[in-house]
Amino acid sequence: MFQSLQDKLNGAFKTLKGKGKITDINIASTVKEIRRALMDADVNYKVAKEVTDKVKQEAIDRKVMIAVEPGQLFVKIVQEELTALMGGKAETVNLKGSPAVVLIAGLQGSGKTTFSGKFANYLKKQGKQVMLVAADVYRPAAITQLQVLGEQIGVDVYAEPENKDAVNIARNAVAEAKSKGKSIVIVDTAGRLAVDEVMMTEVENIKKAISPSEILFVVDSMTGQDAVNTAKAFNDRLDFDGVVLTKLDGDSRGGAALSIRAVVDKPVKFMSTGEKMEDLDIFHPDRMASRILG
């Protein structure tokens, strides 16, 4: 994961590691290299500058130059600042209500349906009574895809293939879940290839109709800065609660993971690392920072 970023950061640290004494010039040039590595990984300039400025300031405040092992202390500071950049600590989802309603939104192909299945599977394993809802009225294949996943993990899937009103389907699904005593309803919505007004209005109307306790925005981490821009566009309309980063098993460069929190001010809550139902993890900023540093 994030191999190129990891290599570049380690390259930057090399000039400090093993040195008994380092100078402010060493620090300044290392910080500059880190900034370049972050930007190469698709972290936007402003975020890369802010985080490296903080690293520099911390290095001064904590007297890295006269530390016993300056290289190690410097790497520790970078680790702490990257963790803070990604939100500091892992965040949970809010599953209040009976049933609790979770709304899943994002672009087509981002991994929404796959994540909905994974999340249902994860909750089922905790003993929850889960219902999945196919609220994509544009692609009949999306309904079938969710039904196949539902069967695979043993979770009921609510669908109305003849109904073209997604808001109505979502509302009916929640009523059905209530009557069946389900504890959690996960509503998988339609996505488009790009942010568009019809899709945004529809998902906004679904939100109004079913008052979810948690809205998760799903985004493909391989799309770099576009991932961050899409997250911003969705958040402006939906005010979502958390982000799901997908396809971290691919060759994504790391920019989305590192900068979504800073740009959108919403936490990444889950990461998806494959197509299998088990490939889902809670996002831990500190573990991610350690991974990035290798």
Complex with ligand GDP: residue 71 or 106, whichever CB lies closer = 106
DSSP 15: T
- Residue 76: partners with Cβ closer than 8 Å, 6 or more residues away: none
- Measured from the CB atom, the residue of 121 and 246 that comes closer to ligand GDP is 246
Which residue in the block uniquely carries the two structure tokens 């906004």?
204
Stretch that binds ligand GDP, among 10-18, 50-58, 193-201, 244-252 (CB under 6 A): 244-252
Instruction: Select 52 or 113, whichever has its Cβ closest to ligand GDP.
Output: 113
Window contacting ligand GDP (CB under 6 A); options: 44-52, 91-99, 162-170, 273-281: 273-281
248 assigned to a ligand binding site: yes
- When binding is defined by CB under 6 A, the residue of 225, 226, 273, 291 that contacts ligand GDP is 273
Secondary-structure percent of the chain, ordered helix, strand, coil, rounded to 5: 55, 15, 30
The answer on whether 110 is annotated among ligand-binding residues is: yes
The two beta strands, 184-189 and 280-282, are unpaired
Which residues in the 185-204 window bind ligand GDP by CB under 6 A? 191
Alpha carbons 240 and 44: distance in angstroms, whole number: 22
Q: Is 249 marked as binding a ligand?
A: yes
CA distances from 75 to 42, 83, 87, 88 (A): 21, 12, 19, 17
Residues 107-126 that bind ligand GDP (CB under 6 A): 108-114
In one letter, which amino acid is 179? S
Verify binding: residue 223, ligand GDP, rule CB under 6 A.
no
Q: Is 191 annotated as a binding residue?
A: yes
Cis amide bond preceding 99, omega within 30: yes
Residues annotated in a binding site: 106-113, 188-192, 246-249
Binding site for ligand GDP (CB under 6 A): 106, 108-114, 191, 246-247, 249-250, 272-275, 279
